[in-house]
Amino acid sequence: MTINFAGKVAIVTGAGNGLGRSHALELAARGAKVVVNDLGGARDGSGGGSAAALEVVALIEANGGEAIAHGANVASFDEVEDMVKQALAKWGRVDILINNAGILRDKSFSKMALDDFRLVMDVHLMGSVNCCKAVWEIMKAQTYGRIVMTTSSSGMYGNFGQTNYGAAKMAVLGLMNTLVLEGAKYNIRINALAPTAGTRMTEDLMPPEVLAMLTPEAVTAGALTLCHDDAPNRMILCAGAGGFATTRLFETEGVYLAPADQTPENVLVHWAQINDLADQRELTEGLKQSEKFLGKAFNHLQSE
What is the C-alpha separation between 123 and 15, in angstroms, rounded?
A: 14
- Would you say 105 and 164 are in contact if contact means Cβ atoms under 8 Å apart? yes
pLDDT value of residue 44: 60
What is the C-alpha separation between 190 and 97, in angstroms, rounded?
A: 9
Q: Tell how far CA 272 is from the center of its chain.
A: 34
pLDDT value of residue 131: 98
pLDDT value of residue 202: 57
pLDDT value of residue 140: 98
The pTM score is: 0.94
CB atoms closer than 10 angstroms to residue 238 = 20
9-247 belongs to CATH 3.30.1280.10: no
pLDDT value of residue 201: 56
Sign of the C-alpha dihedral computed for residues 292, 293, 295 and 296 taken in this order: positive
Q: Is 165 a known active-site residue?
A: yes
What is the C-alpha separation between 43 and 18, in angstroms, rounded?
A: 11
pLDDT value of residue 303: 85
C-alpha distances (whole Å) from 81 to each of 15, 69, 98, 150, 219 are 17, 14, 15, 20, 28
Per-residue pLDDT of the chain (304 residues; tens, 9 = 90+): 899 999 999 999 999 999 999 999 999 999 999 999 999 866 666 656 689 999 999 999 999 999 999 999 999 999 999 999 999 999 999 999 999 999 999 999 999 999 999 999 999 999 999 999 999 999 999 999 999 999 999 999 999 999 999 999 999 999 999 999 999 999 999 999 999 976 555 566 667 777 778 889 999 999 999 999 999 999 999 999 999 999 999 999 999 999 999 999 999 999 999 999 999 999 999 999 999 999 999 999 998 7
CA angle at residue 25 from 20 to 31, to 5 degrees? 125
Of 276, 255, 277, the closest CA to residue 267 belongs to 255
Q: How far apart are the first and last CA of the chain?
A: 57
- Edge-to-edge, what's the strand order for the sheet holding 33-37? 67-70, 33-37, 9-12, 96-98, 145-150, 188-196, 236-240, 243-247
DSSP 48: -
- Would you say 234 and 176 are in contact if contact means Cβ atoms under 8 Å apart? yes
C-alpha distances (whole Å) from 61 to each of 69, 91, 94, 238 are 12, 16, 19, 31
Residues 6+ apart with CB under 8 A from 298: none
What is the C-alpha separation between 228 and 230, in angstroms, rounded?
A: 6
Q: Which of 157, 165, 186, 256 is catalytic?
A: 165
